[in-house]
Amino acid sequence: MNNQSVSSYPLDKIEYKSTGSGDPPILLLHGWGGDINSLDVIGTPLAQHRRVISISLPGFGKSPEPDAAWNPWDYLSMLKGWLELQGLSKVDIIAHSFGGRISIPLASRHPDLVGKLILISGAGLKSQRSMKTRLKIMTSKNIARVARVFRGRYAKFIENFRQQLGSQDWKLASPVMRGTLVKTLEEDLRDELNKIAAPTLLVWGEKDTATPLFMARIMDNLIQNSKLVVIPDAGHYCFLERKGEVLSAVWEHFGLPEAW
């Protein structure tokens, strides 16, 4: 954990919005590259029944970047501090993709803070890599070594080569957030799953390639009180592709009294 970077982070500058009323509040945690508006398709109808809080995680939206690359445990520490600052003693959570990497350790290490949990295509397990991907990673690491040796003399060449290797997330990220992306992808939270006591709903697109369905099945097997809902013919953004089916599952999990 990057203790100094986390402790110096300006929690009061976190971008967030709060709509609706009713306890316990529902906290929305977006995926990589998202912001406070990413889960509006879920948050807006929920706000008719409950208070809904959406934040832009550090490095996204208008929330400042960390001053060093963070891993999921750094984000956990930040989020715990932010909840305390807001006077939120317990929340239900809906997390998409990258948001899962924060909500999983929050639920496992601080069960008093989490009522019910919904992971939509939630990240948290280390991906199985093809040999091609492994070679790209090795090449990228070798480029980093070359960069250190030549101290920036071939910076443009190195950056261009990295651009060819990297995913879209990598290309759009700043150096700090690139480091954060690497650290989060390398973290496997499997051992945290069986510590989660919160009733957990897993909502997954059948054809998700970013966090494939086998990951959902592993999570469903390891989380004590979980239910898996698979959305047919949907991908990583199943809540946009099949809004009605996802909202039905969310409504049932939260026991809401009326349809949206």
CB 25 within 8 A of CB 88: yes
What the block records as the tokens of 170 is 């990598």
CB 181 within 8 A of CB 173: yes
Cα 108–chain centre separation: 15
Amino acid in position 157: F
Pairing of β 26-29 and β 52-55: parallel
> For residue 98, what is the DSSP state?
G
Q: Give me the sign of the Cα torsion angle 206, 211, 212, 213.
A: negative
Cβ atoms of 228 and 220 within 8 Å: the answer is: yes
The CA distance from 226 to 104, in Å, is 13
Tokens of 237: 């953004």
End-to-end CA distance of the chain, in Å?
A: 41
The dihedrals phi and psi of 10, each to the nearest 5 degrees, come to -80, 90
Unique residue bearing structure tokens 């520490």: 77
pLDDT in tens, the chain (260 residues): 666 678 999 999 999 999 999 999 999 999 999 999 999 999 999 999 999 999 999 999 999 999 999 999 999 999 999 999 999 999 999 999 999 999 999 999 999 999 999 999 999 998 765 434 533 443 444 445 444 444 454 455 445 544 444 556 556 678 899 889 889 888 999 999 999 999 999 999 999 999 999 999 999 999 999 999 999 999 999 999 999 999 999 999 999 987 65
Give the pLDDT confidence of 35-60 residue by residue, as tens digits.
Answer: 999 999 999 999 999 999 999 999 99
Give the C-alpha separation, 250 to 254, whole Å.
Answer: 6
Going by C-alpha positions, the residue among 99, 136, 132, 134 that lies closest to residue 118 is 99
Domains of the chain are 3-126+187-254 (3.40.50.1820), 131-182 (no CATH)
